[in-house]
Amino acid sequence: MSTHTPQKATEASSNAMLLIMARLHFYIGFFVGPFIFIAALTGTLYVISPQIESALYKAVLTTQSVGENAPLSQQIAAAKAQLPQDLTLFAVRPAPEQGSTTRIMFLDPNAEYSGARAVFVDPVTLEVKGNLPVYGTSGSLPLRTTISFLHRQLLLSEIGRYYSELAASWLWLSAIGGVFLWYKGGKKNKAEFANKSNLLRKRRRHFQLGLVLFIGLMFVSITGLTWSKWAGDNISTVRHSLGWITPSVNQDLNAAPEDTMTSDEHADHLDHASHHRTAIKKQPMERFENVDVLFDGVLKAAKEAGIDADKLEIRPSSTKDKAWRVSEIDRSWPTQVDSVAVDANTMTVTSRADFDSFPLVAKLIRWGIDAHMGVLFGIANQIILAIFGLSLCLMIIWGYAMWWIRRPQAGSTAKPALQAWSKLSIQQKIMTLLIAIALGLFMPVMGISLIVFLLIDCYRWKLHSA
């Protein structure tokens, strides 16, 4: 009889672990599911927004003029003449192709979300085509910027970021839990596939779609966490400690040529203008008297140094002891994100950061973020993400439909997860506890919500024991 005791204990622990995963999967789906649904839906809107934006702002973004482009200094002068007030010029994006306008970008505290606006100038005729707030490396205009912030923080300012972090923190674990439950289901799952009942049909679809989307669920969850407030900061700390940093040009003219700095891959979801504004305030040193006339020389020096992408951004320095930065901003495939620092005093390149020389991890991070945003592979990337986002929404709807069909009747309660946890072995209890603490500390929003889950489960256990 004693020979069967270890086997029975193992089976009891295995069943208990299965129940724990099932309850956790339920809690994530029931309580976090709405936030994941909103993130998936708004993310889908974002990835399809570039075409809508191009059509909506066509008159601002394009021109019918044909001919040689005027010098950038003249285009800047035309833009400044149109401004109703004196604003600080912080970047210029030359027209990338014939028929496109040049973006002359200024710091503007009245520009919602980004604190920056662009005056769009016809590079041939110098006609001002429009004046709009812009945001991020992608140069999002008002429509896409609004959708971006809706996805990021529900237009609720910084407090709204907790919703997206909550969704990203639990999505990957929900995906792993779903696969675990499917794997442990074994023959039962196969039998359910042949069953025609409404509940089992929805469960089958939910499982099948989850298996198809598994890699995508892990990908968007992990890359989404890098944008989050708390977990994102921890991820950045780990990256720096491991040396997984993205090189950037050093704009300090007094630094050694080989010195490099780090860049932020999340510029599309950050207030890029505020960083430049802060730099200006912190450096009240001697500035260039006439910055505008230097743009053409800086651009020429950068092109001679190999900056050859059609989409470029030129950022002047705020002081003479800092170099200007010229960056490629084409994040489609093949990626063109090289950058150089140019000494505007001598028109020489003082530092450069070439994507080809980036460490592999830095390249993977760059590609991962761009794929998450739907820009890496162009329209194909957008289509895949749109299908993924809508499929995730559908899977969540099926999950709620399953719960509604088999919702507990009055007076009945399912076995609580904590009750099952009490039946684990000592080693399993310690392991699960350590994992929970580690994840909670690394992803605080997950940790706090896990405590809420446990409190709910304690209450359910009390009812179950009554």
Q: Which residues are CB-neighbours of 298 under 8 A, at least 6 positions away?
A: 314, 316, 324, 326, 342, 344, 347
User: Domain locations in the chain?
Assistant: 2-47+155-227+378-458, 62-153, 244-373
Does the pTM of the predicted model rise above 0.85?
A: yes
Among left, alpha and beta (phi > 0; psi -120 to 50; other), residue 67 is left
Report how far Cα 166 is from the mean position of its chain's Cα atoms.
Answer: 14
List per-residue pLDDT tens for the chain, 466 residues long.
444 566 666 667 778 899 999 999 999 999 999 999 999 999 999 999 999 999 999 999 999 999 999 999 999 999 999 998 889 999 999 999 999 999 999 999 999 888 999 999 999 999 999 999 999 888 999 999 999 999 999 999 999 999 999 999 999 999 999 999 999 876 566 665 556 577 788 888 899 999 999 999 999 999 999 999 999 999 999 999 998 889 999 999 987 655 556 666 666 555 444 444 444 444 444 566 688 999 999 999 999 999 999 999 999 998 888 999 999 999 999 999 999 999 999 999 999 999 999 999 999 999 999 999 999 999 999 999 999 999 999 999 999 999 998 877 655 566 788 889 999 999 999 999 999 999 999 999 999 999 999 999 998 888 777 6
Amino acid, res. 139 = G
Written as one string, the DSSP assignment of 7-19 is: HHHHHHHHHHHHH
CA pair distance 451, 340, nearest whole angstrom: 48
Angstrom distance (rounded) from CA 261 to CA 252: 10
Degrees, nearest 5: CA angle 147-47-118 = 55
HSE, CB side, 13 Å, CA atoms: give it for residue 418: 15
Q: Which of 234, 220, 205, 213 is nearest to 439 (CA)?
A: 234
Tell me the C-alpha to C-alpha distance, in Å, between residue 134 and each of 36, 58, 108.
28, 15, 10
Residue 294 corresponds to which amino acid?
L
Kindly report the number of other CB atoms within 10 A of residue 121's CB atom.
28
